[in-house]
Structure 1
Amino acid sequence: MNQLFIQDDFTKSGIGPLYLQLHRRIDDAITSGKLCPGDSLPAERDLALLTGLSRVTVRKAIQSLVASGALVQRRGSGTFVAQPVVRLEQALSQLTSFTDDMARRGRQAQSIWLCRALFLPAPEEMMALGLGTDDRVARLERVRCTDGQPLAIERAALSRALLPDPESVSTSLYAVLDQRGLRPVRAVQRISAANLGQRDAELLGVNQGAACLKIERISYLASGRVVEFTRSIYRSDAYDFAVELKLAPDGERNIA
């Protein structure tokens, strides 16, 4: 790897600012396969010694590659070549689970469980699920992955009356609910843009502050009873959400 950063090659006679020359050198190495996903880069101080560039110049080049998603920095570990992400298009017109979505694409859904237990409900859970202060809520928190790649973080809450045994969910929550005749038939979703905090960024293997899509979903049975209150975070570099729009009937149109 050190051959990528030969000092004589970084000269003021090169094309563009020095930080941009280093940026291109690393980016080209990633594109050509000389640097592979998961490879770690030398520390900033070592890169400065190898290239003969200042640490400020090296830092600027690294930060520009982090911003573009080519590199990822992990606190206490270093700087690594980012794993390539295949973008997925998700339709918003159907109520499906992550497991169903991946199965339709011929992929296998995996979960890294963070929490499966009963708790006293938080105020927002009480409001969404119609619970009292003495009720209990089943919380399911996990990182959703496919092909070993983390794509989303799901934090679902359900009344204990509907899911008294949260550890019974091993893969698909909707499959467990379906077996009990409790699979939701409709949902209301709200989507907003946000930037990832440190913990969620580490769970998704991206940089702190990276853009994400936050989805809040409340799901209902046919009777109108609330089943599920879920707050999810999706990597914006991996997901496109699509919805089909149709022209309203003549009687419902407002013509300006």
Structure 2
Amino acid sequence: MTRTAAGAPAPAGDLAFTLDRGSPVPLYHQLAEQLTAAIERGSLGPGSLLGNEVDLAGRLGLSRPTVRQALQSLVDKGLLVRRRGVGTQVVHTRVRRPLELSSLYDDLESAGQSPATRVLRNEVGPAPAEVAAALGVAEGAGVHRLERLRLTHGRPVAHLTNFVPEGLLELDTGRLEATGLYRLLRAAGLTLHSAHQTVGAVSATAEEAARLEEPEGAALLTMRRTAYDHTGRALEYGSHQYRGSRYTLDFQLLARS
């Protein structure tokens, strides 16, 4: 529930916020955190419009600079966008992906994130040493190299580079833009059984930053994964980069008995 300076409830559209004026946490940060939570739980869905700064400030009993700073922090995170003639609008939620053998496309679709794919490269060439070792093929053997940009609500989430042994399945660019690689593998009768995955982080180069619409030097989550079928044959090797501002991995830890 939002409180005015006098402590009385004050509506904020269809949402309610709790702002603690006695807290050492700045009011703009409290508002930004609660707006973020509303976006992530779906109370403010993609495309939702927020009132202008003057209206919000009046509803919340806050100063206009405080509201502006809160909204700008979400714009900087990519959660809101300011559109001329439209106002401040919700873009998307942060992608929270379970740590399991699944594709980003399937996870985004399950979360209602409307995934889209832009194929940047789809070609067959000789396997570099690292790729050959991961796939268990001879160095220089033919492999499909796929580079794709995965988007949600028109904004990039990840840059995906995958290598698949030549002859394993047909990899048509149109089908790759319409669905995920793991779906194509399953449709070809190839069953994903297990994977080895390594997660890390890097600072975005100028090229990487431009591709993922992040500032140069921004944190990017990285993932390298080799997926296998039930016989232990490698089906694909991927080297991916994800926007740190929009992507997290969720997983459960169990105590060792």
TM interval, short-chain normalised:
0.5 to 0.7
Question: What is aligned with 1:89?
Answer: 96
8 A contact 1:99–1:108 mirrored in 2: no
Alignment-derived partner of residue 196 in structure 1: 204
Does the CA contact (< 8 Å) of 1:138 and 1:157 recur in 2?
A: yes
Preserved contact between residue 120 and residue 136 of structure 1 (Cα < 8 Å): yes
Q: Is residue 90–residue 239 contact of structure 1 (8 Å, CA) maintained in 2?
A: yes
Report the residue type matching 1:86 in the other structure: T
Which residue in the other structure is 1:127 paired with?
133
Alignment pair present for 1:105 and 2:117: no
1:224-239 aligned within 5 A: 224-239=232-247
Tell me if structure 2 keeps the 8 A contact 1:119–1:138.
yes
Amino acid at match of 1:87: R
Runs of 4+ in 1 over 4 A off after TM superposition: 31-34
What amino acid is the match of 2:96?
E
What's the CA shift for 1:219?
A: 0.5
Q: How far off is 1:203 after superposition?
A: 1.1
Residue 239 (structure 1) shift:
1.3
C-alpha change, 1:183 and 1:203, in structure 2 (3 Å) is farther
Aligned-pair CA distance for 1:133: 3.5
Q: Is the 8 A contact 1:174 1:183 kept in 2?
A: no
Q: What residue is the counterpart of 1:181 in the other structure?
A: 189
Gaps of 5+ in 1: 1-30, 35-64, 72-80, 250-256
Shift of 1:107: 2.4
Structural RMSD (CA)? 2.7
2:252 to 221, 244, 248: 244
| Change beyond 3 A, Cα 1:175–1:194 | same
The answer as to 2:161 corresponding to 1:155 is yes
Aligned counterpart for 1:143 among listed residues 137, 149, 173: 149
Moved more, 164-173 or 215-224: 164-173
TM-score scaled to structure 1, two decimals?
0.63
The question of whether the paired residues in 2 share the 8 Å contact of 1:117 and 1:138 is answered with yes
- Aligned to 1:178, the other structure's residue is in SS state helix
Aligned to 1:53: none
Quote the offset at 1:183 in angstroms: 3.2
Match of 1:69 in 2: 76
Residues 3-27 of structure 1: per-residue CA shift (max 9 Å, x gap): xxxxxxxxxxxxxxxxxxxxxxxxx
Shift of 1:86: 2.4
Aligned length: 179
The secondary structure found in structure 1 opposite 2:196 is strand
Give the drift of 1:195: 0.6
Whole-angstrom CA distance in 1 between matches of 2:226 and 2:52: 44
Give the C-alpha shift of residue 164 in structure 1: 5.0
| 1:96 aligned partner, one-letter code | S
The structure that has the greater radius of gyration is 1
- Structure 1 205/125 Cα, relative in aligned 2: closer, same or farther at 3 Å? same
What amino acid does structure 1 have at the position aligned with 2:211?
A: L
Describe the shift of the 1:70–1:160 C-alpha distance in structure 2 as closer, same or farther (beyond 3 A).
closer
Question: 2: distance between equivalents of 1:86 and 1:189?
Answer: 25
